[in-house]
């Protein structure tokens, strides 16, 4: 169980601060405990009530600084997602995002980066699916890396892009 004041990673909301742990504010009969989460990159005032015993939405500790640095340096070695059927690409992205590990987020970004590079050669526009998942995966990964490393997002994004170019 997380503690009040901790910073955690929650689903696609990304980095959140645990403001409180309490019983349900919605149903007095609900005995479960809830985390009161405040996402770091949303408009101020946004609050998420997440059941502490929820196993459907990922809630995990942030990476350590060493893990973040190791992740960035291993980006070129991480494989892109293997998408056997283009019609199932959205589902592959969704599964990787649900996994929520930093490595799975990198794999989504890397897959889309590769598709974009190939598409640019053929003068093709990036698909809405690729655009949507690239935005969500980058926001989640950059948010966590910025929080852990204390580095601005534009610098982290430059590091990620230069590592992808090495692959």
Residues 105-134 pLDDT 10s: 999 999 999 888 876 566 678 889 999 999
Which H/E stretch holds residue 16?
strand 14-23
Confidence of residue 16 (pLDDT cuts 50, 70, 90): very high
pLDDT tens digits for range 60-115 = 999 999 999 999 999 999 999 988 787 899 999 999 999 889 999 999 999 999 88
Percent of the chain with pLDDT over 70: 94
For 63-166, the fitting CATH number among 3.40.50, 3.30.310, 1.20.58, 1.10.3470 is 1.20.58
How many angstroms separate the CA atoms of 73 and 91, rounded?
A: 28
Residue where the block lists tokens 């645990």 = 18
**3-state DSSP assignment of residue 41:** coil
**Among candidate residues 162, 100, 145, 39, the one with its CA nearest the CA of residue 108:** 100
Encode pLDDT of 31-63 as tens digits. Answer: 999 999 999 876 567 899 999 998 888 999 999
Contact 15, 30 (CB under 8 A): no
Distance CA 43, CA 67 (A): 28
């Amino acid at each position: 169980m997380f503690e009040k004041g901790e910073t955690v990673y929650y689903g696609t909301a990304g980095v959140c601060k645990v403001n409180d742990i309490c019983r349900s504010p919605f149903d007095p009969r609900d005995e479960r405990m809830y985390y009161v989460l405040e996402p770091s990159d949303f408009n101020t005032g946004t609050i998420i009530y997440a059941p502490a015993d929820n196993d459907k939405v990922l809630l995990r500790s942030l990476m350590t600084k060493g893990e973040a640095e190791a992740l960035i340096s291993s980006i070129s070695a991480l494989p892109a997602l293997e998408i056997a059927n283009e019609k199932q690409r959205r589902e592959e992205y969704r599964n990787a995002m649900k996994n929520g590990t930093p490595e799975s987020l990198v794999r989504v970004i890397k897959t889309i980066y590769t598709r974009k590079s190939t598409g640019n050669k053929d003068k093709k526009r990036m698909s809405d699916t690729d655009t949507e998942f690239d935005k969500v995966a980058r926001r989640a990964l950059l948010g966590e890396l910025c929080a852990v490393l204390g580095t601005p997002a534009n610098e982290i994004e430059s590091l990620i892009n230069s590592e992808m170019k090495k692959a």
